Structure 1
C-alpha cells in the first residue's frame, strides 16, 4: 500500500517557514510522504500570514491551485490568518480544516477522517491559551536554516495583529536552542538565521514564567560557541532591544555576521508615538551609528510603513529624509492596510490608497538607490560567499557575510561552500561579480 502524500505552502515570514518544517516532520513521522505543492497529494497544508491584505487574498489563490491538481485532496489552513479569522477561512471553497495557534502543532491528531466537507471544520483556541512554546527550525536550500528561538509578542503596536494571532511573548529554552543548532550543524548546513516574532525579547517565558530567564545577549554568546556553524545571522530585532553589548560582540564574533535588520516603521516621532513603538527616531539613529562605528562594512536593513493614519505629506517627507541621511543598506516597504481589531483601524485622517501607493513607490526607489550605494562601497573588498543550490539561468548565486548578493557561472561544485572572493563590479541585474582569491575548493557535504 502506498503512503499518503502531503504537500505544504508557506506564506509570510521566516518564522512561518521554520514552523512549516516542524509540522512537515510530524507528518513524515506518521508515515506520510512529502511532495512538492505542485504535485498530486492527498493533503495540502497552507501556512497562512495576515500581515497584509495581499497575503489574505493569496490564500484563496493557493487553495485553487491545490484543487486544480487534486480536487479530492484534503486542504488544511494553519497559521496567523487561521487564528485571527478561522470562520472566514473555513468558508473558502475547498478548505476542509482550519487549525489555530496551538492546534497546528498537533495537526496529525485531526486526520482521522480525510473526506471532503461542504464547510471547513474549525479547531481554534482562544489566543490566551497559546502560552506554551514549540521549538522549530527549517532547512530551505540546504545552505541555511531558520531557527526559531521565540514566539508571540507583548508589544501593543496599534497597527499589528500578531499578538492576537500568536499570543504572549515566550521563548525556547537555551538548552533546546543549542540542541537544535547542533542538529542543524550536523546536517552540513553552513548558516543559521535566528527567527521569532520579537527575538530581542528572548528569555521571557523560557520555562513558562513571565520573567526573563536569559537575555538575548546571553543567547548570542552561547550560540557563538556551537561547533560546526560557520555563520549565524540575526533576522529582525527591535531597535530598543538591540543593545550595545550585542553590537560590540557581533563585531568581534567569528560566527555572527555583520548584518542587521531593524524595524523603523516611521521616521517621524509623532507617528512613532501614534504607532505605540517603544523608541523615538533618535534612538534608531544611535543604533545605526553604533553599528557602523564598529562594523563600517555592516549591512543594515530597515522595515518602514507608509500611509499610516495621520501621515501628512510633511510627516512622510520627514521619514524619507531621515532614511535618506541614514547609513542603511536597503528597505522593506510596507503599505499600511487596515487590520480588524487594531487601534489604528479606528483612527481618523486616513491616507487615500493612491497616496499610499505613491509614497510606497518613492521609498522603494530610495531602497534601490541605497542598496546600489552599499554594493558600490563594497567593490574592491575581499569577502566570504556562501553559495546556494539553485541554477538560475546558468548562474549560481550567493551572499557575502555582509549580505551582498553575488553571481557566477553555474558550478555545482560550489553549492553549499564558502569561498573567499574579491568583489569586482556590479552587473546590469544589480548583482555583484567577483574574482576568487584562490582557486575554489569544493566541500562536499551529505
Structure 2
C-alpha cells in the first residue's frame, strides 16, 4: 500500500511538473513590452534546467520503488521522507516561477508593459561594462507599490538555493513617469554594479583602516559611513550617471515626516534620510561643480531644519558633516584590485554630463527631438532632470517627453530582435513538448 501511494504521488508530481509552460508560450504581451532576449532566455533556460533536474530525481525515485519496492529504503517512513524532499524541491521551483511571473505578467498591462520594457533599457545602459572591468548581466524591471525600489541581484540565491540568472529590479509605481524614476532605478543598478566590482568589500577595508587612524572625535562618523557604505555606493552610481537628477529623485523618495527623517539608528545599514541627501549633495558638488548644489542644500535645510532636534542628534550630525568632505574625496578616489588602475569616480561619464553640457544638450533636444534617438537613455534622463532642476520644463511636459522616450526604447529593442526572437520561442516550445511527453 505504501509503495502504491508513493508511486501515485510521485507520478502525479511528474505530471504537474510537465504542465509548467515557458513564459514565451503562456504570457501574452505586445512585442515592445517583452523582456530582452538575454533575460528571457536566461530565465527560461534556468527553469527548464531545474525542472529537468527534478524530473530526473523523481524518475530515479520511481525506478527504485518499481525495482526494489519499500525494501529499497530503510523503512516506509524513510521512503516517505525521500518523497517529501522531492515535493519541497517542486515547491521551490514553483516559488521561482512565481517570482519571474510577477515580473513578466505585469507587461501585459496596456502602456505600462511598454514603459517597463523601456526601464529595462535604461537599467542595461546604466550597467554597461565600465572600462571593461566586468561582464554585464540581463536585467528585468517591474513596478510595485510603495516609496522605494529594490533589487534581487543576479547570482544571489533563489528559494531552494539556485542562483538567480537575472537581475530583477522593483521600482515604485508612484514615480512613473518622471525623471525621479531613473534615480530609483539606477540606484538599484548600482547595487548590482557594486557586487560585480566587489566595491562594498574593498571600500569597507579602506574605511576600517581610516577608522583606525582617525582621532577620537571622528571615529563615530567614519564608523557610520563604513556601516552605510552599501547604500552610499548605490547612490554614487546614480549620481555618476544622472547628476542633479539623482539627488532630486532621492529627495522625492525620502521626503517623509520629520520623525522618520532624523530617526538615527546607529546599527542600521541605511543612512537616515536627512544625512543621505546631504551626502548626495556633497558628492554631487565634487563630481559636477555648479552653484545649484548650494541652492538645493539650502532648500533641504530649510524644509528639514535641525534646530528642533535634541542635542545628541545634533552632535551626531555635526560629526558626520565634519568629515563628509574627506569621505566624499575618499569615495571618488577609491582604488582596488577589481578597479585595476582606475578610480571609482573615473568609471562614470561625469565629464560629458557636467551641468552646462546638459543645459546645452537640452536646448538641442528641444530644437531637434529626433536627435535623442542616438543618445544613451541614462543621458536623456540626466538632460531632462537638469532642465527640471533649472525650472526650464514643467512636470507635465517632462512626463510626456519621458513617456515617448520609454516607448521608443522599448519599440527599438523589439524591432532589433527579428528572427532571433522566433528562434527562442521555438526552442522553448520544443522543450515544453519534451517535458509533456516525459511527464506522460
- Higher RCO (CA-CA < 8 Å; seq separation 6+): 2
TM-score normalised by L of structure 2: 0.30
- TM-score, structure 1 as length reference: 0.30
- Which structure shows the bigger proportion of residues in strand conformation? 1
More helix per residue: 2
Q: Work out which of the two has the higher radius of gyration on C-alpha atoms and give 1 or 2.
A: 2
